[in-house]
Amino acid sequence: MPLAHARLKDGAAQSAGRGLAFQPPSRDRLPMSMLLQLQRLAGNRAVADLIGTPPRASVQRVTLGWQGADDDSWNKGAETITAEGKKGAPGDEGVLRIPVGGIAAGQAGSVKGEEGGDSDPNIHQPKDWKPSKPGEKYRVAVSSVTGESVGSKDGGQAIVIVPQGLARGPVDVLFHLHGHTIGYRQAKHGKGKPAPPRDILYDRIEQQLLAASKAGWPMIGILPQGAFFSQFGPGGQLGVNVDAYVNDVFGLGLKELGGTTPGRVTLSGWSGAGLGITQMVAGSKAKAAGEKIPGGATGSLLPTSDFEGLFLFDAIYGNYKKPPGPKNWLGPVWDLLQQRLEHDLSQLLADPSKQEPYLSDKGFRFRGIYTERGGCKENYEHLRDPLLEGWFGTAAVKALPPTVQQSWRANYQVQPSGKGVVHNVMIGKQGGADQENLLKAIEMLPKPAAAHAAGAAHGRAAPAGASAPTHNGSPDELLVASAVALGRAGKGSARPAGGTLLHQEDVRTALTNRSKNAAVAEQFLKAQTMVAAVPEGAGRIAAAQQQAAGLVRLIELQFILDPSRSALDLLPPDRAKHWRDFAWEKGDYPGNEGPHQDEAGAMAREMTTVRAERRPNSEPTAVLLKKDATPERWQYIDEHAVAVPGEPGKRLYEEAGESFAKMREAAKADGVKIHIAESRYTDYRPHAIAEAMAKKRKQRIAQAAFSSHSLGLAADLQMSAGKQKFLETTTTPMQNVADMRSAPAHKWMMLRGEAYGWYPYGNEPWHWEYNPPGLPERFFNAA
């Protein structure tokens, strides 16, 4: 995408230019398809940088204040919150706390019959309360504790926290989910002023975002209000679609967010919020696999392109020994972390010269915080050791420079909450520098580039995904180069030793598009890891060549199994297109007297330039010529035509049959069925019968009476496979013959049959002949 790239650079240059106001290119000049492509390649931030932010309407559309909020509620309107957690006077240092509603991706309205228990500090279980049946928990109506509802009439409600002096452009977002409590709703109170809601009182999120902003991590907080048991999404879903939720908040028209766009997102959750996060993991996994997302259009999804970090405060419940799911929250969390670790590894291997900058600026961040008595300790400790310890102890990681290993490890931390810091206050208890757990987690995040605040394009704006940066000798480049070298270069060139009949461009395309092909992507990552484990030099090149062979085998197999690919594609692209598009008539087979029988012959000859014939019944590779065929020789042939192992009723020259059985098993391992077609004489055809048949059918082809089938050296293979159906072993209609070039059995034989001594007959895609070098010399000397 050179155009978009150029514009990005233009934008950066303009905005960095002294005294020049940033003039974003008009949206009209960029087609949506290009924006979407750029978004895919470079992320939301690049798109935001590119198109700039449209001027916000001066009239706010946002619903300020929460539904049901009393006049003295902290949720009645926006307030400045100071470092002490108090309402500030105009001009005081602090962050803005803005209660908003109308978020489509959140839970709307009030929840009928909403109940809660004493996991919320505003609810006290009476000492004399006893369950009336086993397992019953103490419950009260949430409406008895707070007069505020979960959502507004038109959508979800949230607290948005905005630091003062926020720079324009993309801003980082902390997206935090509460546990099994009334959330940020104002608790009912007696006389006097109400106590602040839990985000200020217990979690101290405002205070810590203020500190973070002053320390160089300016970010906004989005705190969705959920129902008591951490239900945040529409329809009572536990999780939310984070991207949609964040976009909704930025779309509310808050003047405090004027000129900003969503930047990197860190997902955070406390206690019961962890289950919703596991549902987001499941949703994103389903989406990536092209499966239905649980919850449908409003289903729970993790942040996507700018997902920066995950903070989990006592939010991994269940038992890690159980199957992943509601009874084991660690399973999905570890799934997600492994994905991020694997992504990190692929980025580290893609450019060894930029490993440290990658880890400091872009690598994923995880912080798990657990309390000693909070019920998650065992899961967190299992996550730390053996899971994370195990990952950082693998050979692939150990092959990285020690400083890189250290930096990487520092991005994934599991820590106890600190001395005396109990579950309810674990996010923000103020007990000194070592007990501000959210702030400590934020300080693990990459700092926004300083240049960004000054208006220059953010470091992430470069469309890095378009072509992964590589340099000479990187495992990535070595692998691609080695694999491409195994393909055929240019028109009609031969297969390189140990290589493939696929074109070099086919191999290159498959590897560069591997993000769309899970099997290739996975094998590539494995290969990359193996190559990277070998020190640079001759050893690494050898390792790359070895790994490349495996990758090429996989690409070959995908070609074989793909019904849309034809062996005609092994011709030069213009010829492949010519024959694929050719409109055949029924009798267009050589000798069948159709109007294009010459063209049919020409196509067959072109195919024999891809893989040459080695015919056993004609010069220069003959096992037997007609002029040398004596009755004694026919008798010898008949005596040596024996049963083919695994092909009931079929006979071939013994060596040919043994080779056929081996070949059939190899193809089977590849998922391809190689099988002698079910009709008479698709294998050995005794000479006398062949002669009689030829006379009867007045065959025009001179060799028909002297066929390789009469030598026991030919097999007609079944071409139909699965949904691909063909008329078998027939020369009419010609379109059927041409279409057989896409049969897996034909393609497998073309690409892999030679290793077993089998060669094609250009005219007939189903007819294969056994005649490896040396056979003519030894044929009549068999035991």
Helix (H) or strand (E) holding 649: strand 647-653
Residue number, 142 or 740, with CB nearest to Zn ion: 740
Q: Which residue has the tokens 């949720």?
A: 75
- In the complex, the smallest distance separating the C-beta of residue 737 from Zn ion, rounded to whole angstroms, is 13
State the burial class of residue 724 (Cβ atoms within 10 Å of its Cβ: 0-12, 13-18, 19+).
middle
Name the region of 339 (left: φ>0; alpha: ψ -120 to 50; beta: rest).
alpha
Binding mask 150-169 for Zn ion (x = CB under 5 A): --------------------
Q: How far is the CB of 299 from Zn ion (least distance, A)?
A: 55
Provide, rounded to whole angstroms, the least separation between the CB of residue 762 and Zn ion. Answer: 13
Backbone φ, ψ for residue 517 (5° rounding): -135, 100
For Zn ion, which stretch binds (CB under 5 A), given 567-575, 604-612, 732-740, 767-775? Answer: 767-775
Q: Which two tokens stand for residue 600?
A: 């049919």
Instruction: For residue 761, report the phi and psi dihedrals to the nearest 5 degrees.
Output: -120, 115
The verdict on 650 binding Zn ion (CB under 5 A) reads no
The nearer residue to Zn ion, 488 or 767, going by C-beta atoms, is 767
Q: Which is nearer to Zn ion, 289 or 702 (CB)?
A: 702
Q: For Zn ion, which stretch binds (CB under 5 A), given 99-107, 390-398, 557-565, 765-773? A: 765-773
DSSP per-residue letters across 164-216: TTPPSEEEEEEEEE--SS-TTPPPP--SSSPPPPHHHHTS-HHHHHHHHHHTT
Binding part of the chain for Zn ion, among 438-446, 558-566, 567-575, 708-716 by CB under 5 A, reads 708-716
Q: Which window, 230-238, 574-582, 656-664, 716-724, contacts Zn ion (CB under 5 A)?
A: 716-724
Choice between 664 and 767, CB closer to Zn ion: 767
Quick one: which of 280, 323, 338, 278 has its CA closest to 304?
280
**Closer of 233 and 757 to Zn ion (Cβ):** 757
Q: Which residue number, 172 or 764, has a Cβ lying nearer to Zn ion?
A: 764
Tell me how far, at minimum, the Cβ of 709 lies from Zn ion, in Å: 6
What are the residues whose beta carbons fall under 8 Å from the beta carbon of 663, sequence distance 6 or more? 674, 753, 756, 758
* Least distance in angstroms from the C-beta of 573 to Zn ion: 30
Q: Which two tokens stand for residue 27?
A: 């949206």
Q: Is residue 767 close enough to count as binding Zn ion by CB under 5 A? A: yes
The residue among 351 and 716 lying less far from Zn ion, judged by its C-beta, is 716
| Residue 167: closest CA among 220, 125, 106 | 220
In Å, what is the CA distance from 103 to each residue of 182, 224, 225, 296, 594?
Answer: 19, 9, 11, 18, 69
**Inter-residue contact 494 to 488 (CB < 8 Å):** yes
Q: Three-state DSSP class for 150?
A: coil
Indicate whether 556 belongs to the interface with Zn ion (CB under 5 A).
Answer: no
DSSP type of residue 19: T
Q: Which range of residues in 276-284, 286-294, 555-563, 763-771 is near Zn ion by CB under 5 A?
A: 763-771
Task: Name which of 228 and 766 has its Cβ closer to Zn ion.
Answer: 766
* Smallest separation (angstroms) from Zn ion to the CB of 500: 27
Measured from the CB of residue 666, what is the shortest distance to Zn ion in angstroms? 22
Distances (CA, A) of 64 to 59, 158, 164, 220, 226: 13, 10, 19, 17, 17
CB of 524 to Zn ion, least distance (A): 40
Closer residue to Zn ion, CB minimum distance, 458 or 685: 685
Q: Minimum distance between the CB of residue 676 and Zn ion, rounded to whole angstroms? A: 10
Q: How far is CA 344 from CA 363, 389, 404, 473, 520, in A?
A: 6, 16, 12, 19, 18
- Binders of Zn ion in range 345-384 (CB under 5 A): none
Provide the pairing of β-strand 260-270 with 169-177. parallel
Which residues, numbered 310-349, are part of the site for Zn ion (CB under 5 A)? none
Closer CB to Zn ion, residue 650 or residue 767? Answer: 767
Backbone CA torsion sign across 224, 225, 230, 235: negative
> What is the gyration radius of the CA atoms in the chain, in angstroms?
35
Q: Smaller CB distance to Zn ion: residue 396 or 676?
A: 676
Residue number of the CB closest to Zn ion reads 767
How far apart CA 1 and CA 463 sit, in angstroms, is: 9
569, 606, 655, 716: residue in contact with Zn ion (rule CB under 5 A): 716
Q: Which one of 2-10, 539-547, 666-674, 762-770 is the stretch in contact with Zn ion (CB under 5 A)?
A: 762-770
Task: Please name the residue that has the structure tokens 């079910």.
Answer: 678
CA–CA separation, 415 and 417 (whole Å): 6
- Name the residue nearer to Zn ion (CB basis): 716 or 739: 716
Contact map string, positions 717 to 756, toward Zn ion, x by CB under 5 A: ----------------------------------------
* Contact present, 729 and 685 (Cβ < 8 Å): no
Q: Work out how close the CB of 715 gets to Zn ion at its nearest, in angstroms, rounded to a whole number.
A: 7
With CB under 5 A as the contact rule, which of the stretches 109-117, 557-565, 630-638, 760-768 interacts with Zn ion? Answer: 760-768
- Which residue, 382 or 767, is less far from Zn ion as judged by CB? 767
Smallest separation, CB 708 to Zn ion (Å)? 7
Helical ranges in 289-369 per DSSP H: 330-350, 355-361
Which residues contact residue 119 at a Cβ distance below 8 angstroms, ignoring those fewer than 6 apart?
Answer: 179, 180, 181, 271, 272
Nearer to Zn ion, 556 or 716 (CB): 716
Q: Which of the ranges 234-242, 390-398, 591-599, 715-723 carries the binding residues for Zn ion, by CB under 5 A?
A: 715-723
CB of 462 to Zn ion, least distance (A): 59
Tell me the pairing of strands 115-116 and 140-141.
Answer: antiparallel
* Least separation in angstroms between CB 683 and Zn ion: 9
Q: Considering CB under 5 A, how many residues would be counted as binding Zn ion?
A: 2
Nearest partner of 112 among 149, 160, 159, 69, judged by Cα: 149
Q: By CB under 5 A, which span of 83-91, 546-554, 663-671, 711-719 interacts with Zn ion?
A: 711-719
| Nearer to Zn ion among residue 405 and residue 710 (C-beta) | 710
Q: How far is the CB of 638 from Zn ion (least distance, A)?
A: 18
259-295 CB burial, b ≥16 within 10 A, e <16: ebbbbbbbbbbbbbbbbbbbbbbbbbbbeeeeeebeb
Helices (H) and strands (E) in the chain, counts: 27, 18
Among the residue ranges 210-218, 459-467, 667-675, 709-717, the one whose residues contact Zn ion (CB under 5 A): 709-717
* Smaller CB separation from Zn ion, 123 or 714: 714
- Closest distance of CB 561 from Zn ion, Å: 25
Shortest spacing between CB 766 and Zn ion, in angstroms = 7
Interface residues toward Zn ion, by CB under 5 A: 716, 767
